[in-house]
Structure 1
Amino acid sequence: MSSSELHYLEAYELSLLIRSRRVSPVEITEAMLARIGQLDGDLHSYASVTAELAMDQAREAEQELMRGQCRSPLHGIPIAYKDLFCTAGVPTAGGMPIRSQFVPQEDATVVARLRDAGAVMLGKLQMTEGAFAIHHPESTPPNNPWNAGHWTGASSSGCGVATAAGLCYASLGSDTGGSIRFPCAANGLTGLKPTWGRVSRYGALELAASLDHIGPITRSARDALFMLSTIAGHDPRDPTSSPSVCLEIPGIEDSFRGLRVGIDEAWLTEGVDPVIQEALQQVMAVIRDGGGLLQVVRVPDTRAVSANWEAHCGVQAAVAHADTYPQHAPQYGPALSRLIDGGRALSGMDYQHILLDAQCFTGKMDALFKDLDLLLAPVQPYAAPTHEQLANLAQDAEANRRLIQFTSPFNISGHPCISLPCGFAESGLPIGCQFIAGKGEEGVLCRAGMALQQVTDWHRARPFA
């Protein structure tokens, strides 16, 4: 197989080729760096490319594999990181010019775990300012490889573009209100937002501590499973990380058989474009044909928590940026400034009402999953908007709430979600659905994702050659 045929493989497919010695990590990394050089001048997905480091790690992986030492299925696989994860000796700006000269002395825990698994780091990926909604005015936003006139999907934008365009085999992103799931829906990818606490946040730039989730952006549910199994687990440096054990990968089957999947028809249709509704119906048919049990449920009202999300996030962002804001406010872009200013202005009593609403919603969701394995939902109520439509959302609080109504509630409740491609809009843009599960049930999510992708090929569509 020539290197030109490799760039769109799933990471696990590539891993099999590496371990059978049909291709080498050095060959793959060279080809990937060449492709980045060829295409990223137009796509702008990378904040920095660490070519020398990547080749050093690829050569080390190749030598180890030649000696029969295989660290993991990710050994020798070139991946990239959202630019909010600390990387020793490599700038970590978080989409913020004010941090452009920040060079960490150590890796974030998730970076260290992937490095120890033998993954090759290609570089750092572009993101919105501080992981909020909009790129800083001095930054060049990534372009959607499916259509440059449309949204790339919030803060993990570079992750979505690079993974979809064949500029890395997987990437690591973060999700505070939907920023793993939105880029996956916009770019035709699979992404996993784990249970809050499942993955250490140590060494990751904070937006909102109780809402931030770290997870993989990949080309398949199987790849997401392998990435998550590598980065998950307790970290003494992050006291909020849960004492969870690794997922038992061999025991996870790719079948819907016996899974109870909740369907709330009103929630799935109210204000949701017909093309999204039709895609969800196709997913339901796959579940039913695969032996899954569709159950009619009523999802707890998400309107309050999605409407409160920005204020909830803003208070915590104000805390996260207290060392530099408002002292250096002129160096901040307008969107992040507005978020922090709103958080600083909110009264303690008003924030307590937001917290009580969040606790109430979380308790109701926990109760729902006592008799349910999965909940089916869209990622968003329409396909990726144009840049003009996205700009208008910022001026319309209700339109913005509608955009995040299926994502942000589960950042607030901490439940895990997997985003999956489920079809295409008339424009040709990919669209996504998601499964939500009970806390700690990422194995069930990956099982459902693999089952869907076993009998459909939406996840194999690519934006260009």
Structure 2
Amino acid sequence: MSSSLHRLSLVRLAEEIRRSAISPVDAVRCMMDRIATHDGALHAFAHLNDAALDQARRAEAEIAAGLVRGPLHGVPLAAKDLFDTADMPTEFGSPVLRGRRPAQDATVIARLRAAGAIILGKTTLTEGAYADHHPDVVPPVNPWGAGHWTGTSSSGSGVAVAAGLIWGALGTDTGGSIRLPSSCCGVTGIKPTWGRVSRAGALALAPSLDHMGPMTRSVADAVTLLGVMAGPDPCDPTASQLPVPDYMAELTKPVRGLTIGIDHGLLKARADDQVLASIEHVIEVMTGLGARIVDVTLPPIEPALTGWAVQCAVEAAIVHREHWSTRAAEYGPRLAALIERGHRHTAFELAEALEHRRDFAGRMEALYADCDVLLIPGLPVAGPTLEYMSGLGEDPAAILAIGPFTAPFDVSGQPTITVPCGASEKTRDGGGIPLGCQFAGPRFAEALIARTAHAFQTATDWHTRRPEGYA
């Protein structure tokens, strides 16, 4: 079992640990061994937890004594290096915060630990959770192809899960930062409704756009984490007071009769042929499961995207004002340019962006009168290469060119789940890079979109595929 332990799903691992068939110590050692073997080339981790083995031994003893803390007892996980952890640095991908040691855990970290999870390490991210890694940071490498983009900003989380270095990881999403790496790395990621998961103790890019969510190998694994992470929090007054559903109980409900909306016009205008073909594949699978496909028209996304760029820049400038005033020279060029734009935007421009946001969010919520969920690609381009990404030019045009299917849902605050649904064409120069699709729903419809995505995964095997050399 030890040689294939990393192939188990998170749900199966947790079950085996609870009945003492697998030791948490063996699970931690398995991941530590794989990290030692592979992460020198992949650079997915920024920090490792020196106390992880001791924590695993404690979990093993507790379970043996009949004390099961929760659904994640003894399960190793990782967290993007912007979630505060009292036992590891939290450095935000930035030299400005190098050596920062928080006094306490972020709320989501505390909840995972209370459920028995072992936080094995912190994953690499882009500087300040924006678009590029700081020049001092070695970027993570896509295990499916070193010349291809990992997706940002939760790059290390996507790489670690895809390569089997961890069973699940936390990410954040401001314009697509859970869903872009999930698409590029072939993993499952949930961007919940804004406010569904507490942001307390998580360093911010743009607070009103930031969403916290899980990245795993399957929908079942992802909702297992989400069920622990979600819920009201006195430390975050913006966290919703709504009760958290039993996501796992909802997964197996049928999708027959479910109505899935697709904006074919938007897709044809924005997505390449390989991406369009992957969506047609999803349509075929979901139709075979009894779902009904209907044509819908999303409200115009350009005002929402333009407003997103303004609001992200202004909020980032506010977040960084303390360090920016004295240490601006230490920032990397792309985050620095964002902050500078934030200082230049006028009150008129911000007010206009907020008005566009309110209008777009309202129209998006009304759209679900015509369908239950939406189907939309994760990316407009199949398996983008690093060369392609470097040719997109300057922000905000560059970042919005890659995120037209992701950023609008950060603007609306609605939940989406990304799952693997295909692979790019193989050529002499590479290819075979995962493609992802999103199922989106109205606010707080995480259970519905997860059920839809789970049905797709029960009928396909894209989420079970592993990159060569990491199986």
State whether TM-score is above 0.5.
Answer: yes
Q: What amino acid is the match of 1:129?
A: E
1:26 paired residue number: 25
1:63 paired residue number: 61
Aligned residue among 235, 238, 241 for 1:240: 238
User: Are 1:440 and 2:438 matched, yes or no?
Assistant: no
Whole-angstrom distance in 2 between the partners of 1:48 and 1:398: 33
Higher mean displacement: 159-168 or 71-80 = 71-80
Whole-angstrom distance in 1 between the partners of 2:151 and 2:221: 20
Q: 1:423 to 1:325 in 2, by over 3 A?
A: same
1:126 paired residue number: 124
Whole-angstrom distance in 1 between the partners of 2:8 and 2:393: 37
- SS of 2:78's equivalent in the other structure is strand
User: Are 1:454 and 2:463 matched, yes or no?
Assistant: no
Deviations 1:116-154 (A, max 9, x none): 000111111000000000000011101000111111111
How far 1:4 moved relative to its partner? 1.4
Higher mean displacement: 166-175 or 245-254 = 245-254
Whole-angstrom distance in 2 between the partners of 1:67 and 1:259: 45
Whole-angstrom distance in 1 between the partners of 2:393 and 2:16: 46
Whole-angstrom distance in 1 between the partners of 2:395 and 2:82: 28
- SS of 1:208's equivalent in the other structure is coil
How far 1:284 moved relative to its partner? 0.8
Aligned residue among 161, 164, 167 for 2:165: 167
- Contact kept, 8 Å, 2:182 with 2:189, in 1: the verdict is yes
Whole-angstrom distance in 1 between the partners of 2:264 and 2:37: 46
TM-score of the pair, normalised by structure 1 = 0.97
Whole-angstrom distance in 2 between the partners of 1:323 and 1:239: 23
Whole-angstrom distance in 1 between the partners of 2:175 and 2:412: 11
1:406 paired residue number: 405
Whole-angstrom distance in 2 between the partners of 1:326 and 1:150: 36
Q: What amino acid is the match of 1:299?
A: L
RMSD: 1.3
How far 1:259 moved relative to its partner? 1.5
Q: What amino acid is the match of 2:145?
A: N
Whole-angstrom distance in 2 between the partners of 1:192 and 1:127: 17
How far 1:402 moved relative to its partner? 2.7
How far 1:251 moved relative to its partner? 3.8
TM-score of the pair, normalised by structure 2 = 0.96
Whole-angstrom distance in 2 between the partners of 1:410 and 1:169: 26
Q: What amino acid is the match of 2:219?
A: A
User: Are 1:199 and 2:197 matched, yes or no?
Assistant: yes
- SS of 1:295's equivalent in the other structure is strand
How far 1:330 moved relative to its partner? 0.4
Deviations 1:414-450 (A, max 9, x none): 0000000001001110000001100001000110111
Q: What amino acid is the match of 2:287?
A: R
How much identity, in percent, do the aligned residues show? 46
Deviations 1:225-270 (A, max 9, x none): 1110000001011011000212223243253222211111111221
Whole-angstrom distance in 1 between the partners of 2:98 and 2:383: 29
Q: 1:208 to 1:396 in 2, by over 3 A?
A: closer
- Contact kept, 8 Å, 1:254 with 1:454, in 2: the verdict is no
2:428 paired residue number: none
How far 1:291 moved relative to its partner? 1.4
- Contact kept, 8 Å, 2:183 with 2:435, in 1: the verdict is yes
- SS of 1:323's equivalent in the other structure is helix
Whole-angstrom distance in 1 between the partners of 2:115 and 2:388: 41
Higher mean displacement: 95-104 or 362-371 = 362-371
How far 1:109 moved relative to its partner? 0.1
